[in-house]
Chain A
C-alpha cells in the first residue's frame, strides 16, 4: 500500500471502523511517517474522550430557568402512569368492580321483585 492510501484510511482505522486492516497494518509496521500520523489520530481520540467530563459553565440564571420551566404535575399524567405501570392489577380490579356492580344490580332487581310480589299477595 502507498502512504496516501494508508493515510486516507487512518481516520477510520483509528476509530476502529475499518473492517479489513491487514495490509494497512503491514504498512504501519514499517512506515514511521504513517505511524506518527496514526499516533496523532489516537491522541486526538484520547483527548476528545477526556473532554467529555470537562463541563462549561452556563449563565447564572440557567438552572433557575430550567426549574421554572418544569411543567406542573397533572392528574392526567398520574393516571397514564398508573395505567402504564400496573396494567394487570388494573384489569383484575376492573373485572372485580364490574362483577360487583353486576351483582349489586342483580340483587336490587331481585329484591324489588320480591317486594312487588309481597304487595300483590293479600295479607292473611
Chain B
C-alpha cells in the first residue's frame, strides 16, 4: 500500500520518492495492464504511459480515494486508449472465432473454487472488450459508472457487456450449461 506521506513527497517533486513509488507499484501496474491488453510488451508500454500521467497529474490527486484506486483508473484508461488506437476494442456482441473450440468438453466440478491459472487462461481468451469490463469490475472493483467513463459508453451498456462477459467466462471455465426446462 502506498502511504499518504510517500504521495506527498512525490507531489513535492522528490525524485527519490518517485523511485520509491515506482518500486512499490510497478508490478501491480504491469499486471493490470497485462490483464487488459493481453500482451507483455504492450502492457509495459501502457504502464509506462500511465506512470507519465501519474507524474504529470499527481498534484491533482486530493487523497479523497486511496492512491491505488486512482492509479488503477489511470492504468485502465491508458490501456483502453491503447486498445482503441490499435483498433482492438471491438464489439462485445461479436463472437470470437475460436470460442467454440475454447470450450472444455465437460462441465467441471461445481463445488471447487475456480483454479486461478485456469481462470487467467480463460480471461486471456475473452475478447478485449469483454475482458476489460470483467477485470475492471470483478477484479479491481471499479464501479460500472467509472468503467463507462473509461471506455466511453453508458453505465447500462457496461452492465450488458459485463453480464455477457461473466457468462462467457463461466462457460470457458466450467463448460456450457445443459439445456434446462424447469419452471418454478
Name A13's closest neighbour in chain B (CB-CB). B163
Q: Shortest CB–CB separation between residue B40 and chain A, in angstroms?
A: 7
C-beta contact mask, A67-97 vs B, less than 8 Å → 1, else 0?
Answer: 1011101000110110010000000000000
Query: When the two chains form their complex, are residues B110 and A39 in contact, meaning their CB atoms are under 8 A apart?
Result: yes
Give chain B nearest CB distance to A52 CB in angstroms.
Answer: 5
Given A33-B180, A45-B138, verify A17-B27 contact (CB < 8 Å). Answer: no
Please, which residues of chain A bring their CB within 8 A of the CB of B56? 71
Indicate if the CB atoms of B44 and A2 lie closer than 8 Å.
no
In the complex, which residues of chain B have a beta carbon less than 8 angstroms from the beta carbon of A57? 27
The residues of B that contact A66 with a CB separation of less than 8 Å are 22, 26, 47-48, 51
Task: Pick the contact of B184: A12, A30, A70, A73 (CB < 8 A).
Answer: A30
* Interface secondary structure of B, over-half rule: helix
Chain A residues with a Cβ closer than 8 Å to the other chain, count: 51
B97 at the interface (CB under 8 A from A): no
For B76, the chain A residues whose CB sits under 8 A away are none
B144 contact set on A, CB distance < 8 A: 17
Any B CB within 8 A of the CB of A119: no
13 more contacts with CB within 8 A, not counting A11-B164, A15-B162, are: A12-B159, A17-B144, A31-B182, A40-B110, A40-B170, A43-B112, A48-B134, A51-B139, A54-B31, A55-B27, A55-B28, A66-B48, A69-B52
Give the B-binding residues of A (Cβ under 8 A). Answer: 1-4, 7, 11-12, 14-15, 17, 26-27, 30-31, 33-34, 36-37, 39-41, 43-52, 54-59, 62-63, 65-67, 69-71, 73, 77-78, 80-81, 84
